[in-house]
Structure 1
Amino acid sequence: MMLLVPCDVVHPRRPDEHFADEAEAARQAGIDVALIDHDAVARGNAADVAVGRLPEGTDAVYRGWMLRSEQYAALVHALADRGVTVRTTSEQYQRAHELPGWYPAVEGHTPKSTWTAGDDRGDFLHACAAFGAGPLVLRDYTKSMKHYWHEACFVPDAADSAAAWRVASRFRQLRGDDYVGGFVLRRFEPFVGAEVRTWWVDGSCRLITAHPDTPDDTPPDDLDLEAVEAPVRALGLPFVTVDLARREDGRWRIVEVGDGQVSDRPRGTPAAELIDALTGEKN
């Protein structure tokens, strides 16, 4: 296995500071580390330049900044031209990274959701109507704007179409060019306590950490993964994170699934623990 991490923008022969400890932990574990130019990948037409320094003919795992699905596909294509195979294919990345890809496998273990293709108002209101009445949470295929909770994330009542569209319009404005896919509407469920981030390799949970937004909140001892193990395995994905939260009734629910390559590791979790998880050591 080779670990691919973004290079530093100013010092391109060094890893990006955010991933430097993971790169060092990989080297300490005897894993080769190679640098890629994330900014070149993100420009969408320079993936061949981004991987120009990589050795050829190896298997790789990416750990870096988030990429759009089409950017990741371009990266995989450029790597393949150099004889490098990435553990997560383009199709697998999109299924993990975008909610419509992972939702069917975990339906029933996550809040009810529906989505649109694009940002048409009529399609959005039709999606709202599927819920009848009651509160919803709004996002697109990859991200919410939860830090703008009342103006661009929380829909108090699906039946109030005018108010719902105001939230959607503000969300769309804030997301700008980063908007992905379409509107996603999710039934609001009341959760208690902090979210927990779980890391899965080939359908097996290898690491349990705090969520990066609440890095000081240690996962509870009574976290029960039994109910979600089968649906996560059903995803059939090589490396994902699954964020869990406890509902008011005590049931653990899946809040988010993400590709593990671009999921943030909370401070407080040693980089070596994640590298061990990737190489097959269960924590």
Structure 2
Amino acid sequence: MRFLFPSDYFNPKKADAAYLEQVASMEDAGFVTSVVSLELLASGSSKIIPIPYPGSKVVYRGWMLSPSDYELLVSLVESTGASVLTSKVEYLATHYLPNWYPLIADLTPETKFYSINDDLESELNKLGWNKLFIKDYVKSLKTSVGSIIDKPSEIATVISEMQKFRGSIEGGICVRRIEDFVPETEKRYFVVSGKPFAALQDEEVPDIVEECAKRIGSQFFSVDVIERRDGTKRIVEIGDGQVSDIVGWTAERFAQLWV
């Protein structure tokens, strides 16, 4: 197993500073690592350093990639004779909310999906929800007006600000029903080859994560769980494990998942 990290912009043979701790932990655990310039993917001049061994399996650990850039990364890995753990189809299966939502709809807040060209204010009025959480297929707006609205008429502002601060809307618009969550209870879990793991070695994995691991077919993904004020655990997010931050985890514990 080889772990592939984004390279430093000024030093293409070294990992980006944000990932140096993970690189060290992976190598301490006995794994080999490589780096790749994400900036050069589109030009076709990007290289993997060191080159993976033919027949080896590669796990990407880095920034979120668009579907087209992820496809380029897969092609680059395969050009060396190696293969990726997560195909493009599997990447999008957990990276895009509409792909994983139907599989766990009973375990997560109710969600509706729209095109950017829909009459969104009219559609939101039809829902009759008191508050709405707005995001695209991948991210929500964490700056400016934020992502939670209580009036459908505010949707135009949120969309405008998403385009302004994020640069684009990825996929489409997801509208999620607000539930009464306890913010400080949110935790991230990782699932590797169907087995879920918690941030602490002796920490019990909640039943809802075990159930999610059974329903989602991806080899490597993250599951964010939060507690409602009535004590019910709910899944608030699923993400491709390769581009999920290790928030709440140590780099050493994350490396242990693969040993």
Report if TM-score (shorter chain) is over 0.5.
Answer: yes
Distance 1:228 1:277 in 2: 16
The counterpart of 1:276, out of the listed 251, 256, 259, is 256
**Which secondary structure state, in structure 2, belongs to the residue aligned with residue 208 of structure 1?**
coil
Deviation (angstroms), 1:45: 3.8
Contact kept in structure 1, 2:13 and 2:49, CA below 8 Å = no
Match of 1:132 in 2: 128
CA, structure 1 residues 11+102, in 2 after alignment: closer, same or farther (shift >3 Å)?
Answer: same
Match of 2:177 in 1: 187
Instruction: Letter of the 2:65 partner, please give it.
Output: L
CA, structure 1 residues 4+175, in 2 after alignment: closer, same or farther (shift >3 Å)?
Answer: same
CA, structure 1 residues 166+27, in 2 after alignment: closer, same or farther (shift >3 Å)?
Answer: closer
Q: Deviations over 1:104-159 (max 9, x none)?
A: 11111111111123x2142x2454245223211000000001344xx2411204xx
Match of 1:55 in 2: 52
Distance 2:150 2:193 in 1: 38
Distance 2:133 2:87 in 1: 30
- Equivalent runs, 1:220-235 vs 2, <5 Å: 225-235=206-216
Distance 2:211 2:123 in 1: 29
Distance 2:129 2:87 in 1: 39
Match of 2:84 in 1: 86
**Which secondary structure state, in structure 1, belongs to the residue aligned with residue 127 of structure 2?**
coil
Aligned length: 255
Bigger drift between 78-87 and 227-236 goes to 227-236
**Which secondary structure state, in structure 2, belongs to the residue aligned with residue 4 of structure 1?**
strand
Which segments of 5 or more consecutive residues in structure 1 lack a partner in the other structure?
Answer: 210-220
Deviation (angstroms), 1:259: 0.8
CA, structure 1 residues 127+95, in 2 after alignment: closer, same or farther (shift >3 Å)?
Answer: farther
Match of 1:155 in 2: 149
CA, structure 1 residues 28+170, in 2 after alignment: closer, same or farther (shift >3 Å)?
Answer: closer
Deviation (angstroms), 1:70: 1.8
Query: Does 2:118 correspond to 1:144?
Result: no
What is the alpha-carbon root mean square deviation over aligned residues? 2.1
Match of 1:175 in 2: 166
Distance 1:50 1:106 in 2: 38
Bigger drift between 241-250 and 163-172 goes to 163-172
TM-score, normalization: structure 2?
A: 0.90
Q: Deviations over 1:193-229 (max 9, x none)?
A: 42211111122212337xxxxxxxxxxx7x7611342
Deviation (angstroms), 1:23: 1.2
Contact kept in structure 2, 1:4 and 1:62, CA below 8 Å = yes
CA, structure 1 residues 13+227, in 2 after alignment: closer, same or farther (shift >3 Å)?
Answer: closer
Instruction: Letter of the 1:188 partner, please give it.
Output: I
Q: Deviations over 1:36-61 (max 9, x none)?
A: 112223xx343x52436523411111
Distance 1:130 1:234 in 2: 31
Deviation (angstroms), 1:257: 0.6
Distance 1:11 1:231 in 2: 40
Instruction: Letter of the 1:163 partner, please give it.
Output: E
Instruction: Letter of the 1:21 partner, please give it.
Output: E
Distance 2:92 2:18 in 1: 24
Contact kept in structure 2, 1:207 and 1:274, CA below 8 Å = no
What is the aligned-residue identity percentage?
A: 29
The counterpart of 2:236, out of the listed 255, 260, 273, is 255
Query: Does 2:107 correspond to 1:109?
Result: yes
Contact kept in structure 2, 1:224 and 1:252, CA below 8 Å = no
TM-score, normalization: structure 1?
A: 0.83
Deviation (angstroms), 1:62: 0.9
Q: Deviations over 1:51-109 (max 9, x none)?
A: 36523411111111111122111110121121111111110001111111111111111
